[in-house]
C-alpha cells in the first residue's frame, strides 16, 4: 500500500502514514479553510489501510500543537475509525496523544478523546521539547 | 485571508513575551471569531462569498481581549442569545462535558460548523464571554442587528 505523506502547511498538519511499518502520525497545527477537503484523502487512506489490517497491530501518533473547533471533529473521526478497527477484527491499536506541557487545553482535549475509546489503547504523553 | 492575518497575529503575540498558553488561547479565540464572521456575517459583498466583520485584539488590564462584530439576521438573535447565555454561565467542567456531547452530534440547524466555535472561545477565555445585539439604522425592526462578542484571555 502506498504511504501517505503530506507536508505541513500554514494551516494544516503534517500527515505521515507509513503503512509498511504500521506507524501513522499527524503533527502540527490544524485550522484549514475547508476541513472536509483537507481530511478527505486522509480518511480514505486510513480506511483503505484499516481494511487490510485484520488482527495486526498499528500505532497512531497525534502530535498536535493547536486545532480549531472544526478540526476537532475530524480528529474524533480518525479516533473512531481506529477504535472500530480494533473492535471489529481484534487489531491491536495504540493511540498516542502528545501534548505540550505548556498548554493544558490540548491535554484536556486528548483526555476527552481517550475516554471515548473502547477497544484501542490510549496513551497520553508529554511532547518532547524539540517538537514544540 | 486567515492565513496571512493569522501569521501576523502569531508573530505579534510571540514578540510580546506572553506565556505559551496565553499565546495559543488568544490565537484560538481569534481563529474561531474570524471563522464565525466568515461563515455567518449577514453583510456580504454582492454575488460573492466575501463577508464583512470587524475584529480587534487588545489589552485590558492584565488580559488580552478579542472583540468581534458583524451583522446577523434579526431572526437569529433568539437562537444565538440562548446558546451564548447557556455557554457563558457554565464553568470549565460543564463546558468540557457539553463539548464532548456536541462533538458527537451533527451541526445544529442554521449552523455550518460543528456548533463548537462559541464553546472553544468560552473554554479558552479566562472570564465569561460577553455579547450584545445592537439595533442599527435607528430602528428596532430592521432585517439585521449588529452582533458583538468579547472574550478575555
CATH code for the domain in which residue A60 is found: 3.30.750
Q: Which residue of A has its CA nearest to B28?
A: A68
- Which domain range does residue A91 map to? 4-126
Report pTM. Answer: 0.90
How many domains does one find in chain A?
1
CB distance from B23 to chain A under 8 Å?
no
Architecture label for domain B2-152: 2-Layer Sandwich (3.30)
| B124, B23 contact by CB (below 8 A) | no
Q: Rounded distance, CA B63 to CA B27, Å?
A: 14
Would you write out chain B's pLDDT as a tens digit for each of its 153 residues?
666 788 888 888 888 888 999 999 999 999 999 988 888 788 877 777 778 889 999 999 999 999 999 999 999 999 999 999 999 999 999 999 999 988 888 656 556 554 689 999 999 999 999 999 999 888 888 899 999 999 999
- Kindly tell me if the per-residue pLDDT of A111 is higher than 80: yes
Reported ipTM: the value is 0.89
E-state strands within A12-132: 14-18, 23-30, 57-67, 92-99, 121-126
C-alpha distance from B142 to closest chain A C-alpha (Å): 32
Q: Is B93 on the interface with A (CB under 8 A)?
A: no
Residue A14 belongs to some domain of the structure: yes
Residue B87 neighbours by CB under 8 Å, 6+ apart: B95, B98, B118, B119, B122, B129
| A34 burial type by CB count under 10 A (0-12 exposed, 13-18 middle, 19+ buried) | exposed
Say whether A103 and B116 touch across the interface (CB within 8 A). Answer: no
Can you count the helices (H) and strands (E) in chain A? 3, 6
| Residue of A11, A73, A112 lying closest to B96 (CB–CB) | A112
Task: Give chain B positions within 8 Å (CB) of A77.
Answer: none
Interface contact flag, B2 A73, Cβ < 8 Å: no
Q: Is residue A33 part of a domain?
A: yes
Task: Tell me the shortest Cα–Cα distance from B132 to chain A, in angstroms.
Answer: 23
Rg for chain B, CA atoms, rounded = 16
Residue-level pLDDT at B114 = 45
Asked whether residue A84 is assigned to any structural domain, the reply reads yes
Please, which residues have CB within 8 angstroms of residue A103's CB and are 6 or more apart in sequence? Answer: A65, A66, B20, B21, B24
Q: With an 8 Å Cβ cutoff, is B112 touching chain A?
A: no
Q: Look at residue A132 and tell me if it is in a domain.
A: no
A73 and B116 in contact by Cβ < 8 A?
A: yes
C-alpha cell at A88: 471489529
As a dihedral over the C-alpha atoms of residue A41, residue A85, residue A75, residue B113, rounded to 10 degrees, the angle is: 80
Residue A131 lies in a domain: no
Q: Which residues of A touch B (CB under 8 A)?
A: 10-11, 31, 33, 65-66, 68-70, 72-73, 76, 100, 102-105, 108, 112, 115-116, 132
Q: Where are the domains of chain B?
A: 2-152
Residues of A in contact with B113 (CB under 8 A): 69-70
Amino acid at each position: 500500500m502506498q504511504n501517505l505523506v503530506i507536508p505541513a502547511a500554514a494551516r494544516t498538519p503534517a500527515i505521515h502514514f507509513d503503512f509498511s511499518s504500521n506507524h501513522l502520525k499527524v503533527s502540527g497545527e490544524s485550522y484549514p479553510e475547508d476541513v472536509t477537503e483537507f481530511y478527505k484523502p486522509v480518511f480514505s487512506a486510513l480506511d483503505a489501510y484499516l481494511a487490510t489490517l485484520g488482527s495486526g497491530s498499528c500505532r497512531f501518533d497525534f502530535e498536535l500543537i493547536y486545532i480549531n473547533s472544526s478540526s476537532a471533529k475530524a480528529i474524533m473521526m480518525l479516533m473512531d475509525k481506529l477504535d472500530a478497527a480494533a473492535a471489529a477484527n481484534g487489531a491491536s491499536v495504540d493511540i498516542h496523544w502528545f501534548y505540550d506541557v505548556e498548554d493544558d487545553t490540548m491535554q484536556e482535549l486528548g483526555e476527552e478523546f481517550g475516554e471515548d475509546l473502547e477497544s484501542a489503547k490510549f496513551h497520553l504523553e508529554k511532547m518532547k521539547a524539540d517538537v514544540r | 485571508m486567515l492565513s496571512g492575518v493569522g501569521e501576523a497575529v502569531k508573530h505579534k503575540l510571540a514578540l510580546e513575551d506572553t506565556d505559551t498558553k496565553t499565546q495559543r488561547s488568544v490565537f484560538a479565540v481569534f481563529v474561531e471569531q474570524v471563522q464565525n464572521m466568515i461563515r455567518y456575517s449577514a453583510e456580504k459583498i454582492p454575488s460573492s462569498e466575501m463577508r464583512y466583520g470587524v475584529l480587534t485584539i487588545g489589552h485590558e488590564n492584565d488580559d488580552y481581549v478579542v472583540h468581534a462584530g458583524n451583522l446577523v439576521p434579526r431572526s437569529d438573535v433568539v437562537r444565538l442569545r440562548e446558546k451564548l447565555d447557556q455557554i457563558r454561565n457554565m464553568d470549565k467542567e460543564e463546558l468540557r462535558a457539553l463539548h464532548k456531547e456536541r462533538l458527537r452530534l451533527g451541526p445544529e440547524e442554521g449552523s455550518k460548523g460543528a456548533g463548537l466555535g462559541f464553546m472553544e472561545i468560552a473554554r479558552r477565555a479566562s472570564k465569561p464571554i460577553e455579547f450584545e445585539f445592537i439595533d442599527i439604522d435607528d430602528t428596532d425592526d430592521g432585517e439585521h442587528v449588529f452582533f458583538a462578542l468579547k472574550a478575555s484571555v
